[in-house]
Structure 1
Amino acid sequence: MQTAVKPPPSTMLPMVIIGTLFFVFGFITWLNGALIPFLQIVCNLNGAEALLIAFSFYIAYVVMALPMSFVLNKLGYKNAMTFGLLLIAAGCCLFVPAAKTQTFILFITAQFVVGSGLTILQTASNPYLVKIGPSESAAARISIMGLLNKGAGWLAPMVFIALVLGDLSGITEQSIAALPEAERSAQIQQLAQSLIMPYLGMAAALVLLAIALSFSGLPELDLDVEDKKLAEREKSKGSVLQFPQLVLGVIALFCYVGVEVIAGDTIGLAGSQLGVPGALGLTSYTMFFMVVGYSLGLVLVPRVCTQHQLLTLSSVLGIALSIGIPFTNAESHFFASVLWGWTGITTLPDPITFIALLGLANAIVWPAVWPLALEGLGKFTARGSALLIMGIAGGAIIPLLFGFAADHFGVLNAYWTTIPCYAFILFYALKGWRLREW
């Protein structure tokens, strides 16, 4: 008599649910690319002040990481994801009084609350994604989620323009400044009010998603055994900081998230100052090239080249584009015409095209640095992963430096602030990841 073998649980439902969450991550994160130049107009901000919108969002990943890990331990993975969705919905609701009063500090607070919700969602969903199926296919699952995330980032600015701006989609900082005082005030008021219904709608959708998630059949992760093993390992001597490839990898990710945010969130600022029509939706171009780069990485690694070789090419491309941005002709559309003008899609001035192409340079960095940084960590892998997550703080700090540079030297010259970041990523690709002793 044969004993029936219980089939392994299907990963389809968890993949669909986690995939939806990753889409939400991307959509909300890359709304900032349209929101920053929008609020610069509504709240009359300079470049540094406008980049505080990104700072308040990304600094939540650092400030709230430990509190949210406590919440995760108390609630469990499934309930923590539900809580994260509700927290993001609360942040979206804060946009209503912020828009009605045009109060910048309220917008900043709302961004921080949204970032806090995303912190717990990211903390819960990333390890869940690894654990719901065979370890040998985890990389494929992560790649699929990455494409969903960046695809949502490509869509977000276009949805923002359609729902928030409507007939005012061609508005720029220059066009607003050219209006008479009374007409300018009326149009700014109209712009601010246009935020209310879309953000209320987004809050309602997030609440419905949270309810659906709480009643879904998403299984809870049972990590008690792994937690006990980790506790035993922590009794041994040693420090996670003894691994150069990890510490340098954290710095590389700090630099990467900074330049990724600059490429995605400031292209609208640059386009608005150059008078590019539809400037608030330019983040879609950067996200499109990130999707292209991500897809190329899936095809090329490891069939054609290794992770560190592609990381080297990416950082060199980033340096070249950053150097070229201030020197290209803002009246010329040559590069866009060559790359996609033949498709009928609207072309962009050469400096804006170079900024969009930074998305291509950035795409491979996150998936390449992680395995290189964690290689050989053994029992320190979990703590190493936590340190790498802290690298997201680069998205809060480096764009602020960009903002100060933009105010003093012009927005196009400010892209030179990304060169040291790409240079460090290049160092990591060539040497840093190989180091095993300080």
Structure 2
Amino acid sequence: MKAPASKNIVPLMIICIVFFVFGFATWINAILIPYFKIACELTNFQSYLVTFAFYISYLVISVPSSFLLEKVGFKKGMMIGFWIMAAGAFVFIPAAMTRSYSLFLIGLFIIGIGLAILQTAANPYVTILGPADRAAQRISFMGICNKTAGIIAPLLLAAVIIKPSDSQLFKDIQLMSEVQKGHTLDMLISRVIAPYLVVGCILTLLGFLIRYSPLPEIDKLQKEENPDVTGHTKIFHFPHLILGAVAIFFHVGSQVIAIDTIIPYAQSMGMSITSAKVFPSYTLFATICGYLLGISLIPWCISQKTALRICAVLGLVLSILVIVSHYSVNMLGYQVDISLWFIVFLGFANSMIWAGIWPLALNGLGRYLKIGASLLIMGLCGNAILPLCYGFLADHYDLQKGYLVLLPCYFYIVFYAFYGYKIKKWNVLT
């Protein structure tokens, strides 16, 4: 029997805070990528190693994190996750002092490890703490927390590390002597020390707070809600789960591309970084609008499955428009190509995809829920690989053609939304 809704309120509020931290740590990369590109003198491909280092950790640690959570429990595991993230934030201090891009990437990798542990623990809570047919609604609430932090994070970091006069400074860097350029770049990169010192301290404190919070252990809920499953001796015997993990791979990769590439794309249209810095926030705001619409319509008007299908098809259509559009428009005071706004609108299309995939992929796993959740979290390595594919295309062709990488992503998501989730046996076609 489900726990009474009133008993779920406090645990869900705690998970909301955790998802806010996810968003802050994740979407701050949108400003780090163009900033590191300038301060560390990088190509497009090299700059997107930020996302690679951050998210490849999900592939490495997601399954081991499930065993960690099994051994120490979810609350202690989340505490460890916060502390690992704090350690990664503190690595930014020596990295900035030496202007070592490699050391920055190591710090991002460590932050990603901690975040993967937190994600593996937190997402099953959202699925379990309430009725199954409202899971997408709860995930949408968490998404609002995540994306609200995503709106704040790049703007806050940009306010700290980018000054109004920097637009001219960035133009003048290439005209400086090597010695003067070195001093200037050292000055620019040192600006990340203070914010990441603060972030590291906050994450350390959050680890203590989550350990002694009233958040219940998920094992108790899982025993009540998930009977054993017969006929499945291995997790890979659940095709809808494996195909769902691939859908997560394509979804998160396409979402990060839409947010983390939009500043350089806006700069390619003649916009300065100080003006372009707002566009990730516009994209995330569009995502929040999608969440709010989903919360208001699911499940009384449309099912979470229908919402997934609508968003998947819309994402595919917008991706095509991003690639083929060449028309200058003036919106919100910006004279840019309309394709930039189609990228912003991708935020809306992406809003209900994650929330739609998770319940479908975890459906019927029973005692395999933990390992199933960890496999879905492994799909987050799409954030590591797909932006690099975009950077490769952008370097060899142009920034707009780089968005060709979005097409296979949304084609697959459409496949999963309409058919893939139904597959219960691998020999379904035989």
Same fold (TM over 0.5): yes
Letter of the aligned partner of 1:180 in structure 2? M
Letter of the aligned partner of 1:20 in structure 2? I
Match of residue 23 from structure 2: 26
Match of residue 146 from structure 1: 143
Please list, as runs of the form range in 1=range in 2, the aligned pairs for 1:160-179 lying within 5 A after superposition: 160-168=157-165, 170=167, 175=171, 179=175
For residue 325 of structure 1, give the secondary structure of its aligned residue in structure 2: helix
**Is the CA contact (8 Å cut-off) linking 1:172 and 1:272 kept in structure 2?**
no
For residue 166 of structure 1, give the secondary structure of its aligned residue in structure 2: coil
**Is the CA contact (8 Å cut-off) linking 1:52 and 1:108 kept in structure 2?**
yes
**Is the CA contact (8 Å cut-off) linking 2:141 and 2:291 kept in structure 1?**
no
Structure 2 CA distance for aligned equivalents of residues 202 and 257 of structure 1: 24
> How far off its partner does 1:408 sit?
0.5
Please list, as runs of the form range in 1=range in 2, the aligned pairs for 1:17-416 lying within 5 A after superposition: 17-130=14-127, 140-168=137-165, 170=167, 175=171, 179-181=175-177, 184-214=181-211, 216-221=212-217, 223=219, 233=228, 236-277=231-272, 278=274, 279-329=276-326, 332-334=328-330, 337=331, 341=332, 349-377=337-365, 380-416=368-404
**Is the CA contact (8 Å cut-off) linking 1:272 and 1:280 kept in structure 2?**
no
Structure 1 CA distance for aligned equivalents of residues 132 and 306 of structure 2: 25
**Is the CA contact (8 Å cut-off) linking 1:161 and 1:281 kept in structure 2?**
no
Match of residue 430 from structure 1: 418
Structure 2 CA distance for aligned equivalents of residues 135 and 403 of structure 1: 39
**Is the CA contact (8 Å cut-off) linking 2:140 and 2:352 kept in structure 1?**
no
Please give the TM-score of this superposition, normalised by the length of structure 1.
0.85
Distance change in 2, residues 1:22/1:228 (3 Å): closer
Distance change in 2, residues 1:161/1:171 (3 Å): farther
Distance change in 2, residues 1:228/1:161 (3 Å): closer
> How far off its partner does 1:12 sit?
4.5
The RMSD of aligned alpha carbons is 3.1
Distance change in 2, residues 1:172/1:148 (3 Å): farther
Distance change in 2, residues 1:169/1:149 (3 Å): farther
Please give the TM-score of this superposition, normalised by the length of structure 2.
0.87
Structure 2 CA distance for aligned equivalents of residues 227 and 131 of structure 1: 11
Structure 2 unmatched ranges of 5 or more = none
For residue 411 of structure 1, give the secondary structure of its aligned residue in structure 2: coil
> How far off its partner does 1:25 sit?
0.6
**Is the CA contact (8 Å cut-off) linking 1:154 and 1:284 kept in structure 2?**
yes
> How far off its partner does 1:155 sit?
1.2
Letter of the aligned partner of 2:317 in structure 1? A
Distance change in 2, residues 1:10/1:168 (3 Å): farther
Moved more, 43-52 or 218-227: 218-227
**Is the CA contact (8 Å cut-off) linking 2:20 and 2:149 kept in structure 1?**
yes
Distance change in 2, residues 1:318/1:203 (3 Å): same
Equivalences, count: 421
Letter of the aligned partner of 1:273 in structure 2? S
**Is the CA contact (8 Å cut-off) linking 1:150 and 1:287 kept in structure 2?**
yes
Structure 1 unmatched ranges of 5 or more = 1-6
